[in-house]
Amino acid sequence: MRDPKKLDEIEREDLAAFCQASAPLKKAYDLLQEFLLMVHKREGQRLDAWLAKVTKSELPELQSFAAGVEKDKDAVKAGLTWPINNGRVEGHVTKLKLIKRTMYGRAGFALLRQRVLHTV
């Protein structure tokens, strides 16, 4: 899954051997690398072409993944295109859940409220 440029010499040799030994593995590796590049560079406009390649690939595992992406394609495309995300909100939710779990069975809502207000 890593960028091929970040592999050490032994990992590159192993990857080349695996890809040479199995054509479906080579095809799956190439499609996955293309998807990762699309995610990292935020190129949502390439999603339709990638989904078409996966459909023609005859790789059931990737086709299953692509079917899931297809069901919510608009959201996936927006996530791959828009510069905004909800990472900060999710971080706050995670922090609040942690506080809530540590307070389970103690005191009551008033103490939980004070803890949340002092943490945030």
Which of 21, 15, 24 lies closest to 60 in space, CA to CA? 24
- Whether pTM > 0.75 for this model: the answer is no
Q: Please tell me the predicted confidence (pLDDT) of residue 12.
A: 87
Over residues 31-47, mean pLDDT: 91
The CA distance from 72 to 79, in Å, is: 11
In DSSP notation, 15-74 reads HHHHHHH-HHHHHHHHHHHHHHHHHHHT-GGGHHHHHHHHHHHT-HHHHHHHHHHHHTHH
Task: Using pLDDT thresholds of 50, 70 and 90, give the confidence band for residue 27.
Answer: very high
